Amino acid sequence: MSQIKKNLFFNIITLAVNIAVGFFYTPYLVKSLGILAYGVLPLAMILNQYISILTTSLTGTLTRFYAVEINKKKYENASSYLNGALFVILGIIVFCLPILFFVLWKIDTLFNIPTSLISSAKILFFFTFLGFFSSLITSFFSIVLYADNRLDLLNKINIIRTSSKVLLNVLFFTIISVDIKYVGIGNFIGETIVAIYTYFLFRIIIDKNIKLNFRKIQKNIFSSLLIMTLWVIIHQIGDLAIYKTDILFVNKFWSVKESGILGAISDFGSYIMLLIGVISSLFGPLILIAYSKGNHEEVKNMALSNCLLIGLITSLIVALLIGFSAEFLRLWLGKEYLSYHSWLDFKLISLPFYAASGVFAFVYRSWNKVKFPAIMTVVIGLITIVMTYSISIYSKSSVDGIEYILISNSVLSLLQTYILGGFMIKIIYPDIKVSSLIYIGLKFLAIMLIIIVLSKVTTAYFEVDNWFKFIICIGIIGIIGVLFVYFIFINKNDRKYLLDLILKK
């Protein structure tokens, strides 16, 4: 079996695991803890979700330097970059320690948490931070796997990460007691298991010519590595401001109940983002390898083709969920959450553009063009915070204000993802036409519109009141959507590229 097929196979397994977790784990937590206690979890899980995004970005970024040198057989430079990456990651951990203690010290003033839950919340945050540190160590060991295009192993790591946390939390709730602190403890143990497993894979895969020794760090190499890493972290801080601060403001200006409901809905959006990441991760190493070999025409073609395919796949998934959002929330969480289905719609609507821009990010990170995207993301993040704060103040605790926040964030998300990513691609490869990028974006909107309309027409004439009917409707309209995508929204060359990617031996 070829490496691409292995990667695809384990990507599919990871997709299945994430779908299962998304459908069963969040409702389990909501029903076990109650919405008030569950409302505390999203505040800590912001960090947990940030872990996933940051570690993926760090792995891809730090791999960029290592992969270029290892492909050129320059083992001395590759060793220097790898040792420098370890030094940078340890530095991030040391830097984060004061933040951990500050959050624990001021937790009752930073967040709107019921007094009865403060003690458990502190334990939850403490172990979530420790899990974050473990995940950073995992991201270092993953560098060698990513550079070697061993996405099958990286997917095994993600499967263990997801399943171990769920199993541990269910076990704690069943054997000991139902308490939010055990979610944090379970996450930490899960991340530790993953770090140990990744270390053993690292020892097996790493080239024998690569040595771990801080004395091998060359000053000029470490400097370039540190600068790029800092810009990536700044970029991720901007991402955090755009995608995660809505829950913090809802918690502060509304209540823990609203933040719990939004948190549950956001969790599902996060699972969709994970699904997208699993699909798009197939292309990251391929783009990086092509770049390191100087095959820039191949990089450009992969960027456009993969952007289109990933965006269309995501558009189809998102449109199906939006089209049946009311029915889905009623079946997934309960009929009392039915009135909040528009929150799910606004959380999902920008995801196709987020997914497409992820492919663009693989390109400009390969080129080490991360400074401008980071600055612009922070600027947009600050605008998001200001607008969210303003809406929170002027809405006077009206639930409609939360919808306005989500709409505003969706628009800013489009600006930060697809428009900024398209701008960077145009800068790197000037021969790419702006019209081509606009045309791709319009295809995303068109397929979403078609599927949403078909879904709404179906629910108008057919009552979807159980999971069987839901799955049948999703399946039928999904098949129609796939046919539209394959025969109308992608051309002959894109179809050939897709089939070659899947069938390549």
DSSP 30-50: HHHH-HHHHTTHHHHHHHHHH
Q: Which of 13-17, 82-86, 215-219, 320-324 has the highest mean pLDDT?
A: 320-324
Q: Which residues of 417-429 are buried (b: 16+ CB within 10 A; e: fewer)?
A: bbebbbbbbbebb
Residue 322 has pLDDT above 60, yes or no: yes
184-198, 352-366, 452-466: segment of lowest average pLDDT: 352-366
Rounded mean pLDDT of 105-122? 82
Rg (CA), the chain: 22
pLDDT of residue 59: 61
C-alpha 160/C-alpha 14 separation (Å) is: 10
Q: Distances from the Cα of 89 to the Cαs of 80, 221, 321, 430, in angstroms?
A: 14, 15, 38, 35
pLDDT of residue 456: 93
Domain range enclosing 292: 3-503
Each as own residue / partner, the long-range contacts of residues 460-467 (CB below 8 Å, 24 or more positions apart, any chain) are 464/324, 464/327, 465/327, 466/331, 467/331
Q: Please tell me the total count of domains within the chain.
A: 1
- At residue 446, the 3 state secondary structure works out as helix
Residues across the chain? 505
56-70, 89-103, 483-497: segment of lowest average pLDDT: 56-70
C-alpha 236/C-alpha 92 separation (Å) is: 14
pLDDT of residue 354: 86
Using left for φ > 0, alpha for ψ between -120 and 50, and beta otherwise, residue 432 falls in: beta
Q: Which residues of 290-316 are buried (b: 16+ CB within 10 A; e: fewer)?
A: bbbeeeeeebbebbbbbbbbbbbbbbb
pLDDT of residue 505: 45
Instruction: With 0.95 as the threshold, say if the pTM is over it.
Output: no
Residue pLDDT, tens place only, 383-428:
999 999 999 888 877 888 888 999 998 899 888 889 998 899 889 8
Rounded mean pLDDT of 243-256? 81
